[in-house]
Structure 1
Amino acid sequence: MCLSLNAVPDVLFQHLRISQCLLLHWYDAQPPLRCAILTGTGRAFCAGADLKAWDAKNRGAPGTDAKWPSTGGFGGLSNRHGKKPVIAAVNGLCLGGGFEMITNADLVYALASAKFGLPEVKRGVVAIAGALPRIAQILGRQRASEMAMLGDMYTAAQMRDWGVVNGVVEGSADDLIRAVLQVAEKLANNSPDSIIVTREGLMSGLGGEAPQQATNRVEAGIYQQLEGGDNIKEGVLAFVEKRQPVWKDSKL
């Protein structure tokens, strides 16, 4: 998936939110697909909503009050639970809603030149698409407060040091995509069943459940499907036979 945008006009944003949400639902439902990559084109990954369009909406301009139902949040991602992993490849500016999206990605890689921030407070709005509780978990209260209340921009290296970004890539956007494709290939070479169940276990830890309660729920639910499937048998057999496993598409 590739975003070709800087700040998202309101009408486009509404369509993007629902269409990308549907696209991610489709991705989850396709057994052969094991990993998705989200990136941008040009100088920005995503700079959030278009404030000029927001101003027009505030003034009651015609056609600016459309509402689209979506449980996925900004870009269909910022509040997504989903089933399969999404990797964010941040090629440039990642601000506002763009930053809210990557806080809910499974893995994040960025160009060294990329910039990150939540500048909403400088414009009288709020980062309300899911990032605030997530950055409190990722960064801790004080760093999260600094980022969300001061509205400053940060480098990719800073975001890596703070735990938002997994890796920083020097060079061009093409270099970034090549690096991320290597990560995606590594992920896709693992058991698709194990990835889905592992991801669900990780997601359960973000929902406020106690660790044992969350583990018990996953073990009694989707893990039982994994235990009854072909891939767990193939993985163990391949180890015994000293060969690479040949995974089947997940049925979870």
Structure 2
Amino acid sequence: MDTPVHVEQQGGVQVITLNRPEVRNAINTATAVAIAEALDQLDDRNDLVAGVITGTGGTFCTGMDLKAFLAGERPSVDGRGFAGITEKSSAKPLIAAVEGYAVAGGFEIVLACDLIVADETAVFGLPEVKRGLLAGGGGLLRLPRRVPHQLAVEWSLTGDYFSAAVAHDARLLNRLVPEGQALNEALALAKSIAKNGPLALRATKKIISEARDWNRDEEFTRMREIYEPVRSSEDAKEGARAFKEKRAPVWQGR
């Protein structure tokens, strides 16, 4: 793997691997562009239902490549943000498989994913305040939605790192696994998701992602706008037929 991001497909799952171990998978412009292209591919291909993002060399990602930044690079992509993901992730379910450090912008990449699997070596944190900066890649927006408010405030203001065990206790993680097993567990979770109807999965993610901004008077109307096309789809009919015939459904994505 001699590219900054390696992309492969496994059983309906797109695996996106950050591949700059010499800089602990820090993000430069080429890496951000490659991540964005991988997410575009995930969204565009009907045979791909879910995605996993991980890193090589025992580290997830340590954030922005400071040498590249000082050389004038801006490791973001129009429309998708820092690392090609923090402002707009995939429309499909995306899982972070974390081992080692996922800090600063690396943690913000994790928070842009829907689900998080980490091994016992994982370390998280938003240390930007220690350098007079702030976590501008969505960490300050997403972290308070994922953990209790007082923990989000403490971690953001101190900039201190915290372990996978602490993250698991805070209900930030979906799975905490032994060292070296994060990717395998994330793939198993992704493949379990990928067995389900692709239209239903995208609509489910869309509703969960957007509903926090809906007021009570409109929420069921907004939900029905997303739900009804799925309910009347060929996949919905196939799901009912497969249940009746006691077989696995064959999804068409329409």
TM range (shorter): 0.7 to 0.9
Give, in angstroms, the shift of residue 8 of structure 1.
Answer: 5.8
The answer to whether the Cα contact below 8 Å between 1:86 and 1:106 also exists between their aligned partners in 2 is yes
1:210 to 212, 215, 225: 215
Taking the aligned partners of 1:118 and 1:182, their CA distance within structure 2 comes to: 29
Residue identity (%)? 32
Taking the aligned partners of 1:211 and 1:163, their CA distance within structure 2 comes to: 27
Give the ranges of 4+ consecutive aligned residues of structure 1 lying more than 6 Å apart after TM superposition.
none
The answer to whether the Cα contact below 8 Å between 2:62 and 2:101 also exists between their aligned partners in 1 is yes
Cα RMSD for the two superposed structures: 2.0
1:114 aligns with 2:129: no
Change (3 A) 1:42 1:7: closer
User: What TM-score does the superposition give when structure 2 sets the normalisation length?
Assistant: 0.85
Give 1:60's aligned residue.
none
Larger strand share, 1 or 2: 2
The answer to whether the Cα contact below 8 Å between 1:17 and 1:70 also exists between their aligned partners in 2 is no
Q: Match of 2:37, SS?
A: helix
Q: Deviations over 1:23-65 (max 9, x none)?
A: 21221011000111100011310001133444xx3xxxxx515
Within 5 Å, which residues of 2 pair with 1:56-135? 57=70, 63-64=71-72, 69-135=77-143
Give 1:168's aligned residue.
176
Change (3 A) 1:153 1:196: same
Change (3 A) 1:38 1:115: same
Structure 1 residue ranges without an equivalent (≥5)? 58-62
Structure 2 residue ranges without an equivalent (≥5)? 1-15
Change (3 A) 1:64 1:8: farther
User: What TM-score does the superposition give when structure 1 sets the normalisation length?
Assistant: 0.86
1:197 to 199, 203, 207: 203
Change (3 A) 1:53 1:18: closer
Give 1:234's aligned residue.
238
Taking the aligned partners of 2:48 and 2:73, their CA distance within structure 1 comes to: 36
Give 2:184's aligned residue.
178
